[in-house]
A and B are shown apart, each in its own frame.
Chain A
Amino acid sequence: MKKYFYVIENALLNLSKNKGRNFLQGAMIFAVITTTVIALSIHNTSVTLISEYKAHFGSEVSISPERMPSNLPGITAEQALAFSQSEYLRDFEVSEPDDSSEAVDAVFYLKSPELLEAFAAEVRGKGLPDGYKVDIDRDAYARMVTPLEGLQDISFTFLLIVLALGAAIMVLLSVIAVRERKYEIGVLRAMGMKKRKLAMGLGVEIIAITCVCYLFGMIAGWLLSQPISDALLTGQQSAELMNAVAAQPLTSVKISVSPLTALEIFGVAILLASIAGIISVRQVTKYEPIKILMERN
């Protein structure tokens, strides 16, 4: 291990030299990390919320006449009680009947949204006549979930673009960096430094830059993702939807950077570092010292 100590020392010393180049590379990683934090945390938050909302609104079933206005009466308390005796439900609520009629407002809570059809079939089996629909509150569902799904799509596309662009730029930067350092590499190789150690040195440099940029990128991304999410959500909510539903629409999602998100982004950082590292190492192993030094002389 001690034999490798100087390689690490040399790599860290190299960081303080060539500030311009390192800054450029660092800024690139920083930008990618920041945008990834934003995209990923928005994405993850919307995924979580969607599943929560789906579970909530998707399992809130009511039974009502198919076409409104209708002369069909609402279901009776008796019916409601019969329907509520179901394996598929976790709970139900029935209001007091009106004075004028037998009809009640009943809400059935499914154990999970997928059980809707099974429950509907069961209810029909128990004698619910045609002309009634067994369904969730589609309006509320759309109001809550649609903008989130839009957000999820946007952030995912954005994430892919950032990653592809980031990877491409990292490749470019690494190629340029190694070219720029060809002479230095030639000198080290001429002095007898092995390719493996040279590669290790370059790796240490890239990892050091990446770690610092990861930290700063996380902080910047965390600060920026909330305002950006708010702006996106506002854009997602179409005017029609706002008019269609009088109820309070979704204007804000609390964005959080979960440990999982942080880990995913660390994965992204490692991916970027690996790309840069692999490119550098490939370049280094391609060069023979004599050729580099001859070019110079």
Chain B
Amino acid sequence: MKCLELADVYYRYEGSADYVLKGITASFESGKVYTIIGESGAGKSTLLSLISGLDVCTEGDVYYEGKSLRKLDRDDYRAKSVGVIFQGYNLLTNFTAVYNITLSMSISESEITDRQAKKEAAYALLDNMGVDRETADRKILYLSGGEQQRVGIARALSHNPDVIIADEPTGNLDAETEGAVLNIFTRLAHEDGKCVIIVTHSENVTAIADEVIGIRAGKLLSGTEYRASLPCHVSYPSQENLETKIKENEQ
């Protein structure tokens, strides 16, 4: 099922003359993991900010379940439909990890209304991410980069959104935690039918993708340039590669 669609999206930052995104058309389905790759400054984070309803495109449109984000209540969309894991975490640094999660649940008007139950759910989510209770009760200020990243992931998942958007979600994680987090992402897509979109530089992340989208200087890469930009082992969704992948699996 089509979940998100980008229709000829152009974006230019206010006060800047150049377009950062130049005519991007793509669609994202529920139940799949997408990774977006590209050089630094290519416009990946900008693209995510449009998909997550933090901003609207200068020209073109982003559709969520067929409705233009221009017309949706984007606050509600952010609170309920998408979970965003930011490159810079964007947590409330003066508050505890667990409070960051319960606050997100409150904002999204989660069905868990009981305070204690909410807190327990938050602890459980953090525990899933390998953050124990003692750490969860500490202020974000006193957490390591990797711990903050995991809290960020837990927050994005806390309101059970349909779309999960992640900007470099494993940049600060060790191999073991990265594996665990990627497992969670895969499960969310394949078992719970979420649409997972991840921006990454990491080959481990592209490895779990159902589809890889390349972006360079604000445009989608296609065909040969796209393939050339990918790490060699990455499976991309073109027909010939699908065939080689099937062959590999059979061997």
Contact = CB atoms under 8 A, between A and B. Distances in A.
Interface of A: 2-3, 6, 10, 13, 17-18, 184, 186-195, 288-291, 293-294, 296-297
Interface string B102-122: 011011110001000000000
B92 A192 contact: no
Contacts of B99: 13
Contact of A187 (B45, B49, B91, B106): B91
B108 A192 contact: yes
Given A190-B54, A191-B104, A191-B107, A184 B78 contact: no
Q: Kindly list the 10 A-B residue pairs having the minimum CB-CB distance in the complex, ordered from nearest.
A: A192-B79, A6-B106, A192-B78, A290-B54, A290-B55, A297-B88, A17-B94, A194-B75, A187-B90, A193-B107
Q: Give the secondary structure class of A's interface.
A: helix
A272 to B, nearest CB: 26
B27 to A, nearest CB: 23
B103 A288 contact: no
Contacts of B90: 186-187, 190, 293, 296
A10 B54 contact: no
Contacts of A190: 54, 78, 84, 86, 90
A21 B92 CA distance: 17
A10 B95 CA distance: 10
A149 to B, nearest CB: 53
A293 B109 contact: no
A2 B115 CA distance: 12
Given A6-B103, A187-B92, A192 B113 contact: no
Given A6-B103, A10-B103, A288-B55, A193 B75 contact: yes
Interface in B91-149: 91-92, 94-95, 99, 103-104, 106-109, 113
A191 B77 CA distance: 10
Given A189-B75, A192-B75, 12 more contacts: A2-B113, A3-B109, A188-B107, A190-B54, A190-B84, A191-B107, A192-B76, A192-B78, A194-B75, A293-B88, A294-B49, A297-B45
Nearest to B118: A6
A153 to B, nearest CB: 48
B103 A191 contact: yes
A192 B163 CA distance: 14
Given A2-B113, A17-B94, A192 B54 contact: no
A13 B106 CA distance: 15
Contacts of B45: 297
A6 B80 CA distance: 16
A13 B100 CA distance: 12
Contacts of B80: 192
Interface in B43-79: 45, 49, 54-55, 75-79
A3 B111 CA distance: 11
A107 to B, nearest CB: 74
A290 B107 contact: no
A291 B55 CA distance: 9
22 contacts: A2-B113, A6-B106, A187-B91, A188-B107, A189-B75, A190-B78, A190-B84, A192-B77, A192-B78, A192-B80, A192-B107, A192-B108, A193-B75, A289-B54, A290-B49, A290-B55, A291-B14, A293-B54, A294-B49, A296-B90, A297-B45, A297-B87
